[in-house]
Amino acid sequence: MSVPADGWLMQFYRNPLTEVVRFFETFHSKSYLIINACPEIPYNEAAFRTGQVERFEVKDHRPPPLAELLRFLAVAQAWSAKCRQNVTAVHCRGGKGRTGSFCCSWLLYTKEAEDAEDALNFFALRRTDLEKKRLSKVQGVETPSQVRYVGYVDRLLREQMAYLPAPVSVPCSEEVLLDSVNATEFFTEQFELQFRGHHLVAVLQDASSGRSLASSLGQGTGNSKVWPFGTARLSGDVGLVVYTCHPDGLPADREQAAALISEGAWQGSRKCKIKEAFGCFFHVNFLDGEVLKIPTAEVDQACKRPELFRPKGMLSLAFKRA
């Protein structure tokens, strides 16, 4: 479900909090658990008088960190094991991306789905009102990175043979060194025209905490770019986010400019704000080989902007084992 609307304006397009509470208190009194995966929109959780609310800190349009996905499986399993009548409801902002990531993980854990693709398809079809003719597509998990993480859960469950009610172990952390990021045949002519003279800054983040790890200014012209990182040390959940920004007001030194943007100390000039162009999220433990290749169709934001990013482009991340 989507986030309950606690304010009067949001109630025009979301279910009012009072109605959501009434539903659960009427049909599932004392036997419901709400998974709140929408930290950006707080509401009065105490309104759910006889139920429980469990918070998960997941940013919008991001995949839940692997540890949070596994914590969800443990919480939901413990709740359902207490009583056969217990139900679990998951919500984020709109009830698709983050909610779908949690729900698909549960479908895999309970073996209601055969694999990640089956879980994603099942959720999308159940989430979509197929009788609404104006809908152009099914309403499933939103971003390629969220889809990638559902695949991680599928792979982890198979490797550990850990299905309901067995516990799932968080894998031991592995480390890699990122040498560079290359975008090959990636940008269209329209992108070059629209962002001519702009910096392309790639920022590596610890996706669990949001902390910036390293940054680099893009080099090269035309439809291909490279971001050298040297030996950036990575582990666990990692985010790679590329920003566009005009150099007005930035230091001439490229490393200093990239560092300011990475640390959030510079948000752009008055006329030219810093904008998130594209990115991807991954977990180091699931890297196979020394190069992670991600086609445009599996890059967040870029997959939805064919006028700016070539459909047959490739994002390549070159690693070395630490």
Residues with catalytic function: 92
Residues 215, 201 contacting (CB under 8 angstroms):
yes
User: What sign does the dihedral 306-308-314-317 (CA atoms) show?
Assistant: negative
- Cα–Cα distances (Å) from 206 to 87, 159, 211, 259, in that order, read 33, 25, 5, 15
- Cα–Cα distances (Å) from 64 to 40, 107, 181, 208, in that order, read 14, 16, 23, 8
- Rounded distance between C-alpha atoms, residue 143 and residue 301, angstroms: 8
- Rounded distance between C-alpha atoms, residue 301 and residue 307, angstroms: 12
Spatial strand order of the sheet with 87-91 comes to: 52-55, 32-36, 87-91
Q: Which residues pair with 34 in a beta bridge?
A: 53, 89
Contacts of 301 (CB under 8 A, 6+ apart): 276, 277, 278, 279
Max CA distance (Å), the chain:
64
User: Residue 275, class by beta-carbon neighbours within 10 Å (0-12 exposed, 13-18 middle, 19+ buried)?
Assistant: exposed
Taking alpha carbons only, the member of 195, 203, 158, 172 closest to residue 307 is: 195
Tokens of 222: 């035309």
